[in-house]
């Protein structure tokens, strides 16, 4: 059988942007049926996406991280060979607190020391920010952040914690000698109550830190943008999380968002090509996605992505981790 509407699955982070693209496509070309976007989470989406080629399998995977090698192999095993990877934008992992909060100046290193389970291999005993860095206030460490099942958490790990960790030369060396151990020491988050898993609903984190000015929240940048009046971003190495700083990577919390497209479906599913093209129309600086809180990727990346939309290069599995 066949299908006459595009189907995309995957990340809940990309979901609102994909929705907007779908809506825009449906308006632009009423003859096409509106694409179906399902928010399954990147992992579950990958499983669906890689299950095979055919009408019953999704055409597009939205991802808030890069495809993993294991997933690529799974795809290949099921006959999903030609995959096009397109980076559509950025998401910032922002640190924020209530409007009336003290406004701590953070660095990745401090965050690592405050939140890692075993900073530099030793159990974390820090109770207050002062314990981490004497120049910080003696406020207790209380951070609300995303749960381990979410992409934002993965980004936190990769973009902040590991970076902070690697500022220590020993750890950097460890990376080459014992990668698994390095992952553990640098990536594991403490679970003694200083870091609180706040569930998938980022709105709740916003509410929580609003209610507790001493707490810090970690979430996708779009939430900061949307709740500007109620919370404010915290500087990281002196850089404030803003649109500009995230998109030029001066704020260290930016992570790329991708869509993966099955080449084999391009000819078979009406509207798929148009949908991908629609992304490229909306992801620019003045595009609709930026208004929704997506951070626009730097110009060179965008240029590359635009080229990818045209040329549809096939993803090379050997680059993946």
Partner 1 sequence: MSPAILLLLAFGLSLFGWLAARSRAWAFRKSASGVRLHSLPNFHGWYVALWIGVPALLFAVLWNTISSTLITAHVMADPAASLLPGFGFERETMLAEARAVAEGKAFGVFNEEAQGLIAPYRTAITLYDSIGLIVTILVGFAGGAFAFLRLKPDFTARTRVERAVMALLLIASLVAILTTIGIIASLVFETVRFFGMVSPIDFLFGTHWSPDPMSSGAPNGKDYGAIPLFWGTIYIGAIIAMIVAIPLGLMSAIFLTQYASSGVRKVMKPLLEILAGVPTVVYGYFAALTVAPMVRDAAQAIGISSASTESAVAAGLVMGIMIIPFVSSMADDSIAAVPQAMRDGSLAMGATTAETITKVLVPAALPGIVAGVMLAISRAIGETMIVVMAAGASANLTANPFESMTTVTFQIVAMLTGEGSFDHPATLSAFALGMVLFLVTLTLNFIALRVVKRYREAYE
Partner 2 sequence: MTETVPTTQLTEVQAQRRTRMAGVLARRRAADRRFRWLGFIAVAFSALMLAFLLVNMSSAGVAGFQRSEVRFDIPLAGSMQIDSRRLTQSDPMGGLELAGLEKVVEGAAKKAFGPDADDLVAQGAWREVASALIDDPSLLNGTYHASLPASDDLASAQRGEGDAAMQQVAKKLVREGKLVRTFDKGFLSRSDATSPQSVGIWGALKGSMLTMFITLVLAFPVGVLSALYLEEYAPKNRWTEWIEISINNLAAVPSIIFGLLGLAVFLGLFPNYRSAPLIGGMTLALMTMPVIVISGRNAIKAVPPSIRDAALAIGASKVQVVFNHVLPLALPGILTGTIIGMARALGETAPLLMIGMRAFVASPPSGFTAPSSVLPVQIFLWSDEIDRGFVERTSAAIVVLLVFLLLMNGLAIYLRNRFEKRW
**17/258 with CB nearer partner 2:** 17
- The residue from 151, 164, 187, 256 that contacts ligand PO4 (CB under 6 A) is 151
Q: Which residues contact 93 (CB under 8 A, 6 or more apart)?
A: 152, 155, 156, 159, 160, 218, 219, 220, 221, 253, 254, 255
- The answer to whether residue 26 forms part of the interface with partner 2 (CB under 8 A) is yes
- The answer to whether residue 160 forms part of the interface with partner 2 (CB under 8 A) is no
Which of ligand PO4, partner 1, partner 2, none does residue 278 bind (CB under 5 to 8 Å by kind)?
none
Per the structure block, which two tokens stand in for 316?
């090379």
What is the CA angle 303-305-306, rounded to 5? 65
Query: Minimum distance from CB of 94 to partner 1 (Å)?
Result: 18
- The answer to whether residue 87 forms part of the interface with ligand PO4 (CB under 6 A) is no
- The answer to whether residue 247 forms part of the interface with ligand PO4 (CB under 6 A) is no
Closest CA to 266 of 1, 26, 6, 71: 6
Query: Minimum distance from CB of 196 to partner 1 (Å)?
Result: 6
Per the structure block, which two tokens stand in for 101?
């909060």
Closest CA to 5 of 75, 62, 60, 47: 60
Q: How far apart are CA 195 and CA 112, in angstroms?
A: 12
- The answer to whether residue 11 forms part of the interface with ligand PO4 (CB under 6 A) is yes
Show the beta-strand stretches assigned E in 74-166: 83-98, 143-145
| Displacement of CA 305 from its chain's centroid (Å) | 17
Query: Minimum distance from CB of 187 to ligand PO4 (Å)?
Result: 16
* 8-state DSSP, 239: B
Binders in 32-61 for ligand PO4, by CB under 6 A: 41-42
Query: Minimum distance from CB of 2 to partner 2 (Å)?
Result: 10
Residues that bind partner 1 (CB under 8 A): 1-2, 11-12, 39-44, 46-47, 53-55, 64-65, 68, 70-71, 74, 79, 147-151, 153-154, 157, 180, 183, 187-188, 191, 193, 196-201, 204, 207-208, 211, 264-265, 267-270
């Amino acid at each position: 059988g066949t299908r006459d509407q595009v189907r995309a699955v995957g990340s809940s982070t990309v979901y609102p942007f994909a929705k907007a693209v779908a809506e825009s496509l449906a308006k632009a070309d009423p003859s096409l049926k509106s694409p179906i976007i399902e928010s399954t989470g990147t992992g579950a989406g990958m499983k669906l996406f890689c299950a095979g080629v055919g009408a019953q399998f999704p055409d597009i995977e939205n991802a808030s991280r890069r495809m993993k090698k294991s997933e690529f192999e799974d795809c290949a095993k099921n006959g999903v060979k030609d995959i096009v990877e397109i980076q559509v934008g950025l998401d910032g992992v922002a640190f924020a607190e209530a409007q009336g909060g003290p406004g701590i100046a953070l660095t990745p290193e401090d965050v690592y020391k405050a939140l890692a389970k075993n900073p530099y291999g030793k159990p974390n005993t820090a109770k207050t920010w002062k314990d981490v860095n004497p120049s910080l206030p003696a406020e207790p460490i209380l951070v609300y952040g995303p749960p381990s099942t979410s992409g934002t958490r993965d980004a936190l790990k990769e973009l902040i914690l590991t970076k902070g960790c690697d500022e220590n030369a020993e750890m950097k060396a460890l990376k080459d000698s014992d990668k698994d151990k390095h992952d553990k020491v640098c990536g594991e988050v403490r679970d003694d109550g200083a870091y609180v898993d706040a569930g998938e609903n980022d709105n709740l984190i916003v509410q929580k830190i609003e209610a507790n000015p001493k707490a810090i929240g970690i979430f996708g940048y779009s939430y900061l943008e949307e709740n500007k009046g109620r919370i404010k971003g915290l500087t990281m190495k002196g850089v404030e999380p803003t649109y500009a700083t995230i998109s030029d990577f001066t704020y260290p919390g930016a992570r790329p968002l991708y869509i993966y497209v099955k080449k084999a479906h391009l000819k078979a599913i009406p509207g798929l090509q148009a949908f991908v093209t629609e992304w490229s129309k909306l992801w620019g600086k003045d595009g609709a996605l930026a208004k929704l809180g997506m951070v626009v990727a730097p110009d060179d990346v965008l240029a590359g992505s635009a080229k990818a939309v045209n040329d549809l290069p096939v993803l090379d599995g050997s680059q993946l981790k």
